[in-house]
Chain A
Amino acid sequence: MTSPFRTPEGGRIDRATTVEFTFDGETLTGHPGDTLASALLASGRHRVATSVRLGRPRGVAAAWAEDPGGLVQIEEPFPEPMLLATTVELHDGLAAHGLPGQGRLADVPDSARYDAVHHHVDVLVVGAGPAGLAAALTAARAGARVALVDEQSEAGGSLLSGTERLDDAPALQWVAAAVAELAGHPDVLHLQRTTAFGSYDDGFVLALERRTDHLGAAAPKHVSRQRVWRIRARSIVVATGAHERPVVFADNDRPGTMLAGAARTFLHRYGVLPGREAVVFTTNDSAYDAALDLSRAGVRVQAVVDARPEGSPRRGECEHAGLRVLSGAVVTGTRGTERVTHALVAPFADGQVGASTAIGCDLLLVSGGWNPAVHLFSQARGRLRYDEVLGAFLPGEELDGLAVAGSAAGVFDLAGCLADGQRVARAALSALAVPPAADDRLPAAPAPVVPAAPVVLWRVPDTSGAEGTTSFVDLQRDATVADIVRAVGAGLRSLEHVKRYTTIGTAHDQGKTSGVLTSGIVAELLGVPVQDTGTTTFRPPYTPVAFAALAGRDRGRLFDPERVTALHEWHVAAGAVFEDVGQWKRPRYYPQPGEDMAAAVLRECAAARTGVGILDGSTLGKIDVQGPDAAVLLDRLYTNLMSSLKVGSVRYGVMCGVDGMVIDDGTVLRLAEDRFLVLTTTGGAATVLDWMEEWVQTEWPDLRVHCTSVTEQWVTFPVVGPRSRDVVGSLFPDVDVSTEAFPFMTWRDTALEGVPVRLARISFSGELAYEVYVNPWYAVAVWERLLEAGRPHGITPYGTETMHVLRAEKGYPIIGQDTDGTVTPHDLGMAWAVSKKKPDFIGKRSFTRPANADPLRKQLVGLLPVDRQTVLPEGSQIVEFRADGELPPPPVPMLGHVTSSYRSAELARPFALALVKGGRERIGDTVHVPVGGTLVPVEVTGAVLVDPEGARRDG
């Protein structure tokens, strides 16, 4: 028998089915409905792991996410570190082992799916305990859109852990009826195994649903394993219950030491006896239920140790059941190695501890009171107030759109929780102007027994001689009372500082049991009210969330959208090697068999300079600018004059920010008196449209002009090289392609079999070139016709790398590569593109700022490595020539940096563009570029290295 501690009957487990699992290599069994922790306890195993710093044995100390002890690593079905045995649902084939504080990430890819869903509701209820169910029913019956989320595998909350009755029947019957009723409302979303882990602005709550974790290997692969629900609620009801708080004493971390309420949960929900002989140590009445229930289930309760001098009115109940109750007594320590064997019990009065007696036990239950789970309220910036009687922090103010109900608000009796849930839901509905339903009945709960006042006790004075070094506050961090004493002794007053000094509250459990204890102990040491100490800031996530869940489906090829042109499949078929340009996939080069990039690019460049090449330039940004004031707008935004451009012509233009720095460049086609087509860089398409819209909408609403993105309305195929005229002329015979009839920087409209086509004499290479524009519906057809027409001339498709070499040989900068936001048109040698006639344009006034007249501004120049071999790495620094060929000791003054660098087929040597201080004055100088530890001498040249006279553009 592997489960000697399993009760003969009862609990929410499926006793008819047995599942097998391994823990620390040992094969054990349990039932569906168990957690790993309950199955381990059923097998008699308390100890789960060793602690992170001290290596002390640690065990299951709570029944859910507040457990500071039972940290495990899952090995099967998929490696996952740092889970709590108390929250891992048992399934067949589960393999796990205890963790000494730190886990190990999987070294195999996670093949499970994760996703996210947006959901909108009127009322979100967090927690399906009595208060939450009452709230959800109230809202659902009123016809509101409701979401009810709860982190457990089934609804019921605290009712799952007890024997309460409602309407004179077991309370869980009402839970089942409530769940069924909610399922009948079409606008109610009810999710179990779903943890609301963060509350954010404007009613936004993130919740993690564990959809298939409990199925183990049987989990369907096409269903996401975990799902992040992005819930937007007009109103939120937080009914998250309360966490039991321990009391700190010496050696309180020994396995077998457990919160009293957790023992009830293990008994009633999982059918497990957490021990045979128990001592119950409490400061309040709630632990009496645990003592009596365990006793009834056959556990020998050796003593109920009540710190209150007057004890509890429930003493009689215990004594009637044969339990010994020691009032005015505390547990001062434990004995045992792997498991508690004795509790040390001593009289306690006026803060003084008497001589202790050892009471034999294998289970020590502790209750120091209850901390309402105010996490979501606090994350929403709700202020907390300290309640002196409860020794706990409660919501201290009303928030718009978020209310707290039930024991999360400090209401601890069943009738009170039901009524509170309903009250809070009705208030939420009223704020949303939704009337409550006429029949809104809740079940009758027995009249509550008014409990005797608890005593607030954070820690028992250490009489063990260990001086608090074994009195654990945060078990996961191995942080003790002694650590807090040291922190306060070091002068720390703020709880935030104490947290960082001691690391309390920074572990996996984020201080669910240790946080308030620390507030209390620090206040005690400082002699200030706990209210003044406060709590540390509650931050999401409430419980740990895997990064995979947060990433959701944005992984692999969906991580970042790939934008492709209409020719993409053609490029793929042609064997193109692609390059990312923003989100675009662009062909970088088209290698032929045996070619590397260098060889392919030299071949493609040679074709464009000596024959004809063709590029898919469709990613260029395109903006349609229309209206009577279109030319006025462009005059204000470009540095040069656009209003003088004739219809049918094209002009290159530069755009600057108000600071005078270049933000984009491109060509402008005048389509009509009142219409222009503005071409931007690929990366600048959205920026430039936004820039235009910003000025038109915010500064110049009087301008009669509209700007529309047409980037994807046209594909653009530059046909480039001395033979381009033959190619374009043969495909479009009705266009006179001669220089005289169709000069450089003009455009013409034509058609191909009825489909409108626009041709433009624009060159980004210095060669004779025609850009062909057509609707992308016909992209493949037109591209293939161009290839066909070019075949006699050896037309060569080329990619972005060749495009870059060709433009760099001509000294044409790429905005964003050769510029960096600190570069003016003058720095680029483009004073010619800056109008002197226009009274103003964006950036003009900045050109006369003193900094822009500095002769040592960095200017764009060419660089030629003297060895005719070295391809300078882009980004290399440029330094003064050193006769000895050695870098001086740092700091080495930098003259500038290499912005573009390529091999040139035309020049038969590598070359580069660079921004160099006072660069144009240095033309002819030799400077050094450190490359891989050696200084490479380079000659500074003008930026235009090929055809400086511009003789080739007309072929």
Chain B
Amino acid sequence: MAELLRTHPLQAWAGAFERLPDTVRLTAEPYVAMVDVRLSAVGAEASAALGLDLPTAANTWVPTDDGRAVWLGPDEWLLTSTTEAPEELEARVRAAVLPLGGSAADVSAQRIGLRLTGARVRDVLATGCSIDLHPRVFGRGRSAQTTLGQAGVVLLSLSDGGDDHVVLVRSSFAGYLADWLLDAALEFTPTTARQE
């Protein structure tokens, strides 16, 4: 099967990301399949059907075998998979939750992921995020849907040190957010790497 060319909204930013210091590393996450799952009751039945336990605590996420399960609301989750094609993931999850009164929609291209690592990424995020990102409050496994700059985001904490985060942002806002993050990182960027 010939492959159709894939493009990524942040392709043009790769060079700018490369020039960032280790204290503020930005990387566009590779495309993964994502599905928005709606289910009113989560229990053993749902876990069995899906093959994973959806997190029930608000504003948390859990790793799954090949991705993440992110709490988005009391009856809504985002499931990601690095191994399945978008339509496969949707079909499998939809089949699993339909009998339980749930639903599932492919949202693989709705958002793109940006990985932020380094000792200063918390400072960068704090320039435009009003929630408390202190590692004691927002350690590994915490998530939040909130606003970063002027873009709606899903923020995931990947470490207990506050130095590893994923930001999921609507694809159309990706360029804005990348520009915004680069601008915020300028303070931590060595002179030689700055675009001035």
Q: Which residues of A contact B (CB under 8 A)?
A: 113, 115-120, 145, 187, 221-224, 230, 232, 553-554, 557-558, 560-566, 568-569, 584, 624, 626-627, 704, 706, 708-714, 752-756, 775-782
Contacts and interface: CB of A to CB of B under 8 A. Distances in A.
Contact of B7 (A116, A627, A755, A779): A779
Contact of A553 (B107, B111, B180): B180
Interface string B130-167: 11101001000000000001110000000000000000
Nearest to B171: A712
Given A118-B130, A560-B150, A775-B86, 16 more contacts: A118-B127, A222-B187, A222-B196, A554-B150, A561-B149, A561-B177, A566-B171, A584-B172, A626-B104, A706-B102, A708-B36, A713-B109, A753-B1, A755-B4, A777-B8, A777-B109
A279 to B, nearest CB: 51
Nearest to B3: A753
Contacts of B179: 557-558
A628 B47 CA distance: 22
A230 B8 CA distance: 34
B129 A118 contact: yes
B180 A708 contact: no
A706 B98 CA distance: 12
B36 to A, nearest CB: 5
B187 A553 contact: no
B173 interface: yes
Contacts of A755: 4
Nearest to A561: B176
Max chain B Cβ within 10 angstroms of own Cβ: one of A113, A563, A565: A563
A624 B103 CA distance: 10
A232 B3 CA distance: 51
A236 B49 CA distance: 50
Nearest to B123: A117
B36 A145 contact: no
B189 interface: yes
B1 A708 contact: no
Given A560-B150, A708-B36, A230 B130 contact: yes
A775 to B, nearest CB: 5
Nearest to B94: A626
Contacts, number: 136
A852 B169 CA distance: 43
B105 A563 contact: no
B42 to A, nearest CB: 15
B180 A569 contact: no
B5 A627 contact: no
Contact of B180 (A145, A224, A558): A558
Contacts of A119: 126
Contact of A781 (B4, B8, B176): B4
B173 A563 contact: yes
A562 B176 contact: yes
Contacts of B191: 222
B186 interface: yes
Contacts of B86: 775
Interface in B4-35: 4-9, 12, 31
Contacts of B184: 115, 553
A272 to B, nearest CB: 36
Given A222-B189, A561-B176, A710 B129 contact: no
Lowest 10 A-B CB distances belong to which pairs? A626-B103, A563-B172, A706-B38, A561-B176, A120-B132, A624-B105, A781-B5, A708-B105, A706-B103, A781-B4
B171 A782 contact: no
B69 to A, nearest CB: 16
Max chain B Cβ within 10 angstroms of own Cβ: one of A116, A562, A777: A777
23 contacts: A115-B127, A116-B128, A117-B123, A117-B126, A118-B126, A223-B187, A553-B127, A558-B179, A561-B150, A708-B36, A708-B38, A708-B105, A711-B110, A712-B171, A712-B172, A713-B105, A713-B109, A753-B4, A755-B4, A777-B6, A777-B8, A778-B5, A782-B4
Contact of B110 (A116, A712, A779): A712
Contacts of B9: 564, 566
Contacts of A754: 1, 4
B9 to A, nearest CB: 7
Contact of A558 (B31, B111, B134, B149): B149
Interface in B45-73: none
Contacts of B194: 222
Size bracket of the B interface? 35 or more
Nearest to B185: A222
A776 B109 contact: yes
Contact of A775 (B108, B127, B128): B108
A222 B186 contact: yes
Interface of B: 1-9, 12, 31, 36, 38, 86-87, 101-111, 123, 126-132, 134, 137, 149-151, 170-173, 175-177, 179-180, 183-184, 186-187, 189, 191, 194, 196
Contacts of A706: 38, 102-103, 105
B113 to A, nearest CB: 13
Contacts of B170: 563, 712
B38 A562 contact: no
A778 B111 CA distance: 15
Contacts of B137: 120
Nearest to A552: B127
Contacts of A714: 109
A119 B131 CA distance: 9
A118 B130 CA distance: 6
A434 to B, nearest CB: 13
A565 B171 CA distance: 8
A804 B189 CA distance: 46
Contacts of A626: 38, 103-105
Contacts of A120: 132, 134, 137
Nearest to A145: B134
Nearest to A619: B172
A782 B5 CA distance: 9
B110 A780 contact: no
Contacts of A775: 86, 108-109
B158 to A, nearest CB: 20
Contacts of A568: 175
Nearest to B102: A706
B151 A561 contact: yes
Max chain B Cβ within 10 angstroms of own Cβ: one of A115, A561, A704: A561
A626 B123 CA distance: 41
Nearest to A204: B130
A708 B134 CA distance: 32
A622 to B, nearest CB: 10
A720 B101 CA distance: 40
B136 to A, nearest CB: 9
A558 B183 contact: yes
A776 B171 contact: yes
A564 B187 contact: no
B5 A713 contact: no
Contacts of A224: 187
Contact of A778 (B6, B103, B151): B6
Nearest to B180: A558
B119 to A, nearest CB: 13
A942 B175 CA distance: 44
A777 B38 contact: no
B12 A709 contact: no
Contacts of A553: 127-128, 149, 180, 183-184
A753 B2 contact: yes
Contacts of A711: 110
Nearest to A628: B101
Contacts of A778: 4-6
Nearest to A224: B187
Contacts of A712: 109-111, 170-172
Contacts of A117: 123, 126-127
Given A145-B134, A564-B172, A710 B107 contact: yes
A222 B172 CA distance: 28
B7 A780 contact: yes
A779 B172 CA distance: 13
A886 B128 CA distance: 57
